[in-house]
Structure formats: C-alpha cells, structure tokens
C-alpha cells in the first residue's frame, strides 16, 4: 500500500508511507493543483510489482506515482511511466523519448513514429488512448501515451492492456514500413542543428537537379520533423542503377566540405560548363547561408551562458556532417560504411574523403 499522511495544510509537511518506510514530500515536484509527484526521481521510482495487485482507487489521488524499470516491465518503447488517479478515471502516462544520434535501430525513427501515430489513429475508436508527439530543440523525439481506466481496475490488468497495445502498434508499424516498396529507392537520413536545417535541406533537394544533369530522372521527397530530415530518391526508370545514384550522392554531399571553388577549364563543353556553374552556385549559396548563421550564433553566444545554450554543442551544420544513414533497397548503412563505399575517387583528401574534381566532369557530360 501507499498511504499519504497529511500533517497540516502545507503539503511539504506531508509524508508517504510505503513498504514500511516514511518519505517526506518536502522535495516533491508540484505537478498540478493538489497533485504531487512521488517519488521525486526516476532512480527511486516504484517498481510495478510492488503495487500490481492493488486497484487504482487504493492510491492517494494527490500523488502522481513515478514507476521505475519501465522498459523491462512495461515495454521497450517506454522510458518513463506515471500513474495518476486525480481525475475521474485513472490514467497511465507512458513516455517514449528517442535521441536520434543514439538510435541503433535500422528503421528511421521518424518513419516509425509517423506509422505508430497513423495506426493508433485508425484503431483508437473509443478514445481511451491518447498520443501526443513533441519535437524539441534538444534533439529529442518524444511520444507520449495516455491510457484511461476505471479506478476499480486492478493495476496489473491495466498494465497488461498497456503492454499489449504498445506491442501491437509497434509490430504493425514495423510490418507496414517493411511492406512498403523500397526495392528501388534510396533513403538518406540527416540530423541538423536547427539554424542550418533549412539551408542544408535546400542543398539536398538540389541533388535531383544534379542527377538530371547526369541524365538521370528521379523523384524526391523531403520530410522534416524536429531536427531530423528524411530524403527519399526514386528514379523514374527501374533500369537506373541505384549504385550510380548512391555514388553520386556521396560525391554531392562532400562538395561543400571542399574549401576551393570548382576549377575552371576553358576546354569544357559549354553545356557541361553551364551545369557545373549551376552546381557551383548551389554550393556557394549553402556556404554563404551557413556563414551568416555562424555569425548569428557567435553573437548569441556572447549574450547567453554557453553552458545553458546546449544546442551550440551540436555539430551537424553541413549536409555531410548531418548525414546519419543511407538505406538502399531496404538495406541501411551508417555514414561511415556509406562513405567508404561511395567515395574512392583519388587525388583530393580531406576529413578522410578522397576526391578528384575530374569525377564531376565524368558525371556531368552532355546527355
């Protein structure tokens, strides 16, 4: 049992009796009017097994119960969970937070979240489960699940239903993603600092024009959610080699990393020269926009504490730096593997990338 002992009108003097121990609410978080978090930290969270045989109505309505070990006891999607009995119905709050840079699953987290929300919206006819999605500047993707139950429900039965629901929508989401036709597509996932996302996205989109100048017609789709950017390339002809597109993408993303401009060659075919000038203009535009953002960040960093301005520590501010993975025909490669196979072209070397300007001329010929 969890018992609340109210010693006076000041809630900071109240105490919680749990498993033979007395806990003060003095350091508790004040969640809402007459609602206080217990325990105060996730390290001290209550294990589900300690209260599973209770009904919700036996819990103090003034306490929002923080649970521990949720990934094992509830579902891998759940980082943090609470029980709230202050409302007409008991509520289980299950929070799932993704840090994209630490994401190990080959499935793109943006696709997975989108598909989970889509499946949830289709099946949640009785509105007993609510999903709220939040993306923030701390480079996290958050998905919040809210489950409602009668207060007479046993807590163990409620969490069985929660686990079952999360398993079902997760499995359906994966099945839906992998059943899509990715046999002739390339999907590149990026994560950028917010100040550089727009300029990098514009440069990425120009890749389709770059392909067109190579004589390859393709469609593209670019989606942005929070700091994540998802770029899909699908050639119009099924006979087009995805390897050629993948190699071209590796070259294209590396170009802004090179300090010097594209070299002049007076003997170039005029059409080839025109195509290279267009490409050069896009690179210069990207670099110019990024320099402006760098200057603004320097001004901002002088006005605020660098330690509190966490986003300044994020590194991804160019297309190549922001690249996380590339998926070709359903097979995902991380950045290092992709670049290792895509760029082996000779003379120029910087940041581990070998590059030869003649490769551009070989790619961009009169078609």
Cα–Cα distance for residue pair 128/94, rounded to 1 Å: 14
pLDDT computed for residue 56 by the predictor: 93
Q: Where is the domain boundary, 158, 179, 200?
A: 179
In sequence order, what are the beta bridge partners of 350? 353
pLDDT band at 359 (very low <50, low <70, confident <90, very high): low
- Please state the rounded mean pLDDT for residues 311-339: 74
Is the pLDDT score of 155 beyond 90? yes
- Please state the rounded mean pLDDT for residues 13-21: 84
The model carries a pTM of 0.60
CA distances from 224 to 109, 189, 205, 227 (A): 12, 10, 12, 7
Give per-residue pLDDT as tens, 112-152. Answer: 888 888 888 887 665 678 888 776 555 677 889 999 999 99
β-strand pairing of 35-38 with 63-67? parallel
Q: Which two three-digit tokens encode residue 120?
A: 């949830």
- The answer to whether the beta carbons of residues 125 and 215 sit under 8 Å apart is no
> At residue 269, what are phi and psi to the nearest 5 degrees?
-55, 135
Least Cα distance to 191 among 220, 221, 222, 225 occurs for 225
CA distances from 259 to 255, 262, 272, 342, 348 (A): 9, 10, 22, 21, 11
CA distance between the termini of the chain:
77
- The answer to whether the beta carbons of residues 48 and 67 sit under 8 Å apart is yes
> At residue 339, what are phi and psi to the nearest 5 degrees?
-70, -35
- The answer to whether the beta carbons of residues 100 and 227 sit under 8 Å apart is yes
Q: Are residues 70 and 210 in the same domain?
A: no
Supply the mean pLDDT for the chain. Answer: 78
Q: Where is the domain boundary, 148, 179, 210?
A: 179
Is the pLDDT score of 206 beyond 80? yes
Q: Are residues 199 and 316 in the same domain?
A: yes
pLDDT computed for residue 72 by the predictor: 83
Q: Are residues 201 and 278 in the same domain?
A: yes
- The answer to whether the beta carbons of residues 173 and 77 sit under 8 Å apart is no
Q: What angle do CA 269, 350, 233 make, to 5 degrees?
A: 60
- Please state the rounded mean pLDDT for residues 302-312: 43
Is the pLDDT score of 310 beyond 60? no
Q: Are residues 276 and 339 in the same domain?
A: yes
Q: Are residues 196 and 222 in the same domain?
A: yes
Q: Are residues 154 and 229 in the same domain?
A: no
pLDDT computed for residue 263 by the predictor: 52
Q: Are residues 102 and 229 in the same domain?
A: no
User: Could you please report the per-residue DSSP string of 43-78?
Assistant: GGPBPGGGTTTSBGGGS-TTEEEEES-HHHHT-TT-
Say how many C-beta atoms besides its own lie within 10 A of residue 71's C-beta: 13
Is the pLDDT score of 40 beyond 70? yes
Q: Are residues 160 and 193 in the same domain?
A: no
CA distances from 108 to 80, 104, 139 (A): 22, 10, 15
Least Cα distance to 311 among 202, 199, 200, 226 occurs for 226
Q: Are residues 88 and 139 in the same domain?
A: yes
Q: What percent of the chain has pLDDT over 90?
A: 17
Q: Where is the domain boundary, 179, 200, 227?
A: 179
pLDDT band at 229 (very low <50, low <70, confident <90, very high): confident
Q: Are residues 208 and 100 in the same domain?
A: no
User: Structurally, how many domains does the chain consist of?
Assistant: 2
pLDDT computed for residue 306 by the predictor: 45
Which long-range CB contacts under 8 A does 343-349 form with residues at least 24 apart? 343/247, 343/250, 343/251, 343/254, 345/251, 348/258
CA distances from 307 to 137, 254, 270, 301, 360 (A): 15, 31, 52, 10, 43
Domain containing 166: what range? Answer: 2-179
Q: Are residues 208 and 357 in the same domain?
A: yes
Q: Which two three-digit tokens encode residue 137?
A: 């500047």
| Max Cα–Cα distance, the chain, nearest Å | 90
Identify which has the larger pLDDT, 139 or 40: 40
Q: Are residues 40 and 148 in the same domain?
A: yes
Is the pLDDT score of 170 beyond 50? yes
Is the pLDDT score of 205 beyond 90? yes
């Amino acid at each position: 049992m969890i018992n609340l002992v109210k010693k006076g009108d000041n809630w900071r003097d109240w105490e919680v009796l749990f498993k033979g121990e007395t806990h003060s609410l003095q350091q508790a978080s004040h969640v809402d009017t007459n609602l206080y978090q217990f325990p105060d930290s996730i390290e001290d969270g209550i294990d589900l097994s300690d209260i599973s045989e209770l009904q919700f109505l036996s819990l103090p309505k003034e306490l929002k119960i923080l649970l521990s070990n949720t990934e094992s006891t509830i579902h891998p999607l759940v980082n943090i969970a609470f029980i709230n009995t202050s409302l007409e119905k008991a509520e289980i709050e299950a929070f799932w937070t993704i840090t994209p840079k630490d994401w190990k699953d080959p499935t793109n987290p943006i696709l997975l979240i989108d598909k989970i929300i889509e499946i949830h919206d289709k099946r949640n006819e009785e509105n007993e489960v609510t999903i709220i999605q939040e993306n923030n500047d701390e480079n996290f993707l958050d998905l919040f699940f809210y489950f409602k139950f009668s207060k007479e429900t046993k807590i163990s039965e409620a969490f069985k239903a929660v686990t079952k629901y999360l398993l079902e929508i997760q499995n359906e989401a994966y099945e839906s993603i992998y059943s899509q036709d990715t046999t002739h597509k390339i999907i590149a996932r990026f994560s950028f600092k917010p100040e550089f996302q727009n300029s990098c996205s514009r440069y990425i989109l120009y890749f389709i024009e770059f392909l067109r100048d190579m004589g390859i017609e393709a469609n593209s789709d670019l989606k942005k959610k929070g700091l994540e950017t998802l770029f899909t390339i699908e050639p119009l002809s099924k006979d087009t080699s995805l390897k050629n597109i993948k190699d071209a993408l590796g070259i294209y993303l590396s170009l802004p990393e090179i300090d010097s401009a594209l070299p002049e060659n007076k003997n170039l075919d005029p059409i080839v020269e025109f195509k290279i000038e267009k490409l050069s203009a896009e690179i210069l535009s990207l670099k110019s926009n990024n320099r402006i953002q760098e200057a603004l960040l320097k001004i901002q960093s002088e006005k605020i504490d660098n330690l509190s301005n966490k986003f300044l520590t994020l590194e991804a501010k160019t297309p190549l730096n922001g690249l996380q993975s590339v998926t070709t025909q359903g097979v995902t490669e991380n950045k290092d593997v992709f670049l290792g196979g895509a760029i082996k072209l000779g003379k120029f070397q910087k940041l581990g990338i070998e590059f030869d300007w003649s490769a551009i001329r070989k790619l961009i010929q009169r078609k």
